[in-house]
Amino acid sequence: MKYIIIPLDFSLTSLNAAHYAAEMYKTKEDVTLILYHFYNHANEKETAQKYLKSLQQELIGLGCKVKIELDSGEKFIERLAAFAFAKKAFMIVMGIKEKSTAIQRFSGSNVLLMCEQEICPILIIPENAVYTGISNALITSELRFVEETPSLLTLKNVLGYFKPAIHVLNVDPDHYISPTEKYNKEKEKMEALLVEFDPSFYFMNLYDFHEAVEALSKSQNIDMIAIAPKYHNFFGKLFKTLHTKKLLYNNKVPVLAIHE
């Protein structure tokens, strides 16, 4: 059984993430959604449990397998990470909003902190995203030292449910007309590793990484953007700099963050 954890603070952003995940996995018999709520005070538990059970019944009605989990302690991120590790979670799905309020505990910085835990893939859902299927997925890649890695295997496992067309994007301001022989050799390796998805490759000679991602996302109707450390060194800075807002807050489609 694959467990997908959905942290909830009952904000519209987190509830939308729950519905997005439910639509993604409602026909998958080997997937169980876990609605996870972290509370600070004991007197919150009973009310939270009622809300969770209500949402559980709603999502079960869509055809999902759903469990609930209430947790408490001193630090939300540490508790969530420990729970995900113990459950060997397949994925955590979290909503994000550009301007989070105090009640939206799981939006903004906590999403980014969770991504740094390196427990499992994190699917980050923009606040107004509506699931309409995953037909096209974008992978950013440096196309250097391409090989089968845990992150690539995880990515293939996630996308294997949906079998989308994969679009591999390489951004380098030094590209001129066509990629060099070095890039072509790495392209051939990745093409073989992703053969079941029949990947397409794009080489853009832009200085602005986000501009390239946005342009390709629009032109190819991208439904999900996947970033893994092996395929873009930008990932190392992603959750610690202002690049975060540009890629996550301003992006219109979900971003899947995968670690080694």
Find where tokens 């009310």 sit.
Answer: 47
Backbone angles phi, psi at 27, to 5 degrees: -105, 5
Provide the token pair at 151: 């992150």
* Per-residue confidence band for 252, with pLDDT thresholds at 50, 70 and 90: confident
Interatomic CA distance for residues 242 and 253, integer angstroms: 19
* Per-residue confidence band for 230, with pLDDT thresholds at 50, 70 and 90: very low
Interatomic CA distance for residues 225 and 254, integer angstroms: 6
Interatomic CA distance for residues 225 and 217, integer angstroms: 8
Sign, CA torsion 183/258/4/93: negative
* Per-residue confidence band for 206, with pLDDT thresholds at 50, 70 and 90: low
Q: Could you tell me what percent of the chain has a pLDDT over 90?
A: 48
Provide the token pair at 114: 């969770």
**What's the pLDDT tens digit per position in 166-194?**
999 887 766 666 667 777 788 888 888 89
Looking at the DSSP bridge assignments, the partners of residue 256 are 123, 226
Find where tokens 């449910």 sit.
Answer: 161
Q: Is the pLDDT of residue 94 over 60?
A: yes
pLDDT at 2: 96
* Of the candidates 165, 231, 219, the residue with the CA atom closest to the CA atom of residue 194: 165
pTM of the model: 0.86
Domains of the chain: 2-126 (3.40.50.620), 136-257 (3.40.50.620)
